Amino acid sequence: MATRAEQLERLEASVTAAGGQVHWARDAAAACQIVVSLATRHAATEVIKVKSITTDEIRLNNALQAAGITAIETDLAELIIQLADEPSSHILVPAIHKNRTEIRDLFRRTIGDSTLSDEPSALAEAARLHLRQKFLTVPFAVSGANFAVADTGAICVVESEGNGRMCLTLPDVLVTVMGIEKVVPHWSDLAVYFQLLPRSSTGERMNPYTSVWTGVHAGDGPQEFHLVLLDNGRTKVLADQVGRQTLHCIRCSACLNVCPVYSRTGGHAYGSVYPGPIGAILTPQLLGVEDADSLPYASTLCGACYDVCPVKINIPEVLLHLRGQIVERQRRGLGTHPYGAAERAAMWVTGWILQSRWRYELAQRAARIAQWPFVRHGVLSRLPGYGARWSRARDLPAVPQSAFRDWWRAR
Ligand code: SF4
pLDDT digits (tens, 9 = 90+) for 190-217: 999 999 999 999 999 999 999 999 999 9
Residue 250 alpha carbon, nearest atom of ligand 1: 7
Distance 78 CA to ligand 1 centre (A): 20
Alpha-carbon 308 to chain mean position: 17
Ligand 1 pocket: which of 93, 249, 258 to mutate (most atoms within 8 A of CB)? 249
d(CA 15, CA 11): 6
The CA 10 to ligand 1 mean position distance, Å, reads 26
Greater confidence, 405 or 31? Answer: 31
Could you read off the pLDDT of 135-167 as tens digits, one per residue?
999 999 999 999 999 999 999 999 999 999 999
Longest C-alpha distance within the chain, in Å? Answer: 93
> If you measure from the C-alpha of residue 357 to the centroid of ligand 1, how many angstroms do you get, rounded to a whole number?
46
What would the pLDDT profile of 49-83 be if each residue is shown by its tens digit?
997 899 999 999 999 999 999 999 999 999 999 99
Closest residue by Cα to atom 4, ligand 1, is 255
pLDDT band at 328 (very low <50, low <70, confident <90, very high): confident
pTM of the model: 0.85
Partners of 179 in beta bridges: 230
Check: CB of residue 25 under 8 Å from CB of residue 232: yes
Of the chain, the end-to-end C-alpha distance in Å amounts to 63
pLDDT at residue 338 greater than cutoff 70: no
- The closest alpha carbon to 186, from 11, 374, 361, 5, belongs to 11
Mutate which of 306, 309, 318 for ligand 1 pocket (most atoms within 8 A of beta carbon) = 309
The span from the CA of 284 to the CA of 213, in Å, is: 33
Using DSSP, state whether 139 is helix, strand or coil: coil
Phi, psi for 181 (deg, rounded to 5): -80, -5
253 Cα to the center of ligand 1, angstroms: 5
Enclosing H/E stretch for 133: helix 120-137
Give the confidence band of 335 by pLDDT, cuts at 50, 70, 90.
low
- What spacing in Å lies between the alpha carbon of 265 and ligand 1's midpoint? 18
* C-alpha atoms less than 13 angstroms from C-alpha of 302 in its C-beta half-sphere: 14
pLDDT the model gives residue 337: 61
Which residue is closest in CA terms to ligand 1's atom 7? 249
pLDDT of residue 228: 98
pLDDT at 339: 61
List pocket residues of ligand 1, CB cut-off 6 Å.
Answer: 200, 249-255, 278, 308-311, 313
Alpha carbon distance 120, 97 (integer Å): 16
AA letter at 382: R
Count of CA atoms in the C-beta half-sphere (13 A) of 256:
26
Confidence check: pLDDT of 120 > 80: yes
Determine the residue type at 119: E
